[in-house]
Amino acid sequence: MTNTIPTPHLPRGFYATGVAAQIKKNGQPDVALIASDRDCAAAALFTTNKVKAAPVLYDQAVLASNNTTIRGVIINSGCANACTGEQGLTDCRETAESVAHSLALNQIMAGAIDATQVLVMSTGVIGVNLPMGKLKNGAQSASMELTTDGLEAAARAIMTTDTVQKIACAELRAEGQTYTIAGIAKGSGMIHPNMATMLSVVMTDAAIDAENLKAALTQAGNVSFNHISVDGDTSTNDTLLLLANGASGVSVDTPEKVSAFQSALTDVCISLAKQMARDGEGATKFITISITGAPDMRTAENVGRTIAKSPLVKTAFYGEDANWGRIIAAAGYSGEEVYPDRMALWFGPVMVFEHGMPTRYSEEEATRAIQMHDVEVRLDLGTGTTSTTIWTCDLSHDYVTINGKYRT
């Protein structure tokens, strides 16, 4: 049975912290470190953007040769280390070496750690080299400040334009023992699903092999982070990492245990994904788009994503204009075979479109349905039995302001 924990906490054997290394101009925490006191099996999903940041390329190479003995991950905000050439990769290696050396000096880490056991992530402005002196100092400080209570500090340190920390946690019992799945994430802009859009680290103290870990992460990512959109942009740095250290003594080694783990991991990832959509840059509304009556999942997802990233749809919700025509039009240019005479559309409980025409709905009722902070939209395609859900937000003046001045 899965239980969401009101006060999220790190799984056993994991330590975390967040420190200010002066990478950000505002002096806020900008280096997070998460480490395990024992080896972790690891799995990750990365951006499908053809322009991949140095830490993405670096982590892909590390995990290709080592996905069973990972000990830590360092994340900096304020600089993406993207489009930085060979120097960017060199900086990743030096960062991992610095973290490995610093962690080995911490008694709770129990001995030597190799650089190939450390993963790196970055987020921030593209085209800027990492300030390595500051980052190494931050890594050294973080290594000495690791704590079992550091989940919130780590979540805060990875924020860029985020306004709130994003944390989720679940706890499961198996054969009389308990294990935990906990995760943090960052992301408010440059968010559009094309694997798992953002930076996120999820940890568990269950023991699960790397192959099953990757399968579980892929499935969870597909129905969580792949189902959110803020602005239609896929980042150069997207990384979703899952670490399992086995410190709980629970082995996820039967079909029943794998199924329970999968369900809880999916819950954690969906929670983190929805928190990201809620915190979209400048957002005033959290919008749930349900697509029903689709012939298959691809159609449902493509139609839902097209609606979710439409600037006209998103600005209509910001202006609280129940302009259903923009949603129908977006479905029509999704590239999928849709038929307006079969579609039906609801704003909350109010059906506004059916059989290719507007219904005799009340404009006042439709408007009230989208004036809430949490807005629900359902589009039935009338061509099958498949359904899915996409989460997004509106597009406000503040989004333009934030991104128009992002580098300043």
- Which residues are tagged catalytic? 197
Cα–Cα–Cα angle for 244, 250, 252, rounded to 5 degrees: 70
Q: Which residues pair with 331 in a beta bridge?
A: none
Q: Is residue 46 exposed (0-12), middle (13-18) or buried (19+ Cβ within 10 Å)?
A: buried
How far apart CA 349 and CA 346 sit, in angstroms, is 6
Amino acid at 239: T
User: Under the phi-then-psi rule, with left for phi > 0, alpha for psi from -120 to 50, and beta for the rest, what region is 101?
Assistant: alpha
Amino acid at 252: V
Q: Is residue 132 exposed (0-12), middle (13-18) or buried (19+ Cβ within 10 Å)?
A: middle
Contacts of residue 348, Cβ cutoff 8 Å, sequence gap at least 6: 369, 370, 372, 375, 376
Backbone angles phi, psi at 86, to 5 degrees: -65, -30
The residue whose two tokens read 């004036």 is 371
In angstroms, the Cα distances linking 337 to 263, 302, 334, 378 are: 32, 11, 8, 18
The DSSP result for 288-305, as a single string, is EEEEEEESSHHHHHHHHH
